[in-house]
Amino acid sequence: MDILQAAILGVVEGLTEFLPISSTGHLILASRLLGLEQTEFLKTFEIAIQFGAILSVVALYWRRLLVDPRVMARVAAAFVPTAILGFGLYKIVKKYLLSSETVVLWALVVGGIVLIVFERFHKEKDDHLDDVAAIPFSRCVLLGVFQALAMIPGVSRSGATVIGGLALGLKRRTIVEFSFLLAVPTMAAATAYDLLKTAPSFGGGELKLLAVGCVTSFVVAILAIKLFLKFVQNHTFAAFGVYRILAALAFWAFVSR
């Protein structure tokens, strides 16, 4: 990997982290398109680079995340099941799933179908919750379980959390914002845990590539968050479901062997 490739993957991460299309899945497929070998460093890069995008949430939402104790408590409650499942299944995910294009492609297709079908029948009601600080703790825990599904590459973290939140009676913008906030401890913990195990084996050049990817994803993600929030005010996620299916089929037809 060179600096340009690291920057390209940073752009991919920044654009896709908060959309219901799976940033990890896109990073894996983008790495294939760039001709990058699935090394241990690349697997770590695909995890750690997400932290750059997550820092954009801190930059935009630090008052809610760090000042409002009600929001902090709910984010913490949702993080618990994700942390338990994430740490428990870390070796399986890192060893087997992160290197599987087949898993990514099937997850993109199935997730796309779920998005389309869900949006076909889901109707937002006036009495649905519209305040992150008012989400019951029991629902926060369930949202953490939904988010944990994204350990499967191709299953979008934001998509799983948002669909779970809509199904549990939250308004669209509310669950989108909560998914942003929940991403902070989730990706911070995932990055720190992975780097703790792998960083000592990396040289200065590899750490420089990580820095380039993180900075690029941070800048791009700030723009992506603002655009996404405007989008969800007047649109459903059905279009993302269609995109997921078409992207997987295109990769199968023209790239995958």
Please state which of the ranges 26-30, 32-36, 123-127, 152-156 shows the lowest mean pLDDT. 123-127
Who has greater pLDDT, 127 or 11? Answer: 11
Work out the pLDDT band at 11, boundaries 50, 70, 90: very high
Per-residue pLDDT tens for 22-39? 888 888 888 888 988 878
Work out the pLDDT band at 67, boundaries 50, 70, 90: confident
Per-residue pLDDT tens for 86-100? 777 777 777 767 767
**Residues 50/220, Cβ–Cβ less than 8 Å:** no
Work out the pLDDT band at 163, boundaries 50, 70, 90: very high
Q: Print the SS3 string covering the chain.
A: CCHHHHHHHHHHHHHHCCCCCCHHHHHHHHHHHCCCCCCHHHHHHHHHHHHHHHHHHHHHHHHHHHHCHHHHHHHHHHHHHHHHHHHHCHHHHHHHHCCCHHHHHHHHHHHHHHHHHHHHHCCCCCCCECCHHHCCHHHHHHHHHHHHHHHCCCCCHHHHHHHHHHHCCECHHHHHHHHHHHHHHHHHHHHHHHHHHHHHHCCHHHHHHHHHHHHHHHHHHHHHHHHHHHHHCCCCCHHHHHHHHHHHHHHHHHCCC
Q: For position 245, what pLDDT does the model report?
A: 94
Predicted TM-score of the model (pTM):
0.82
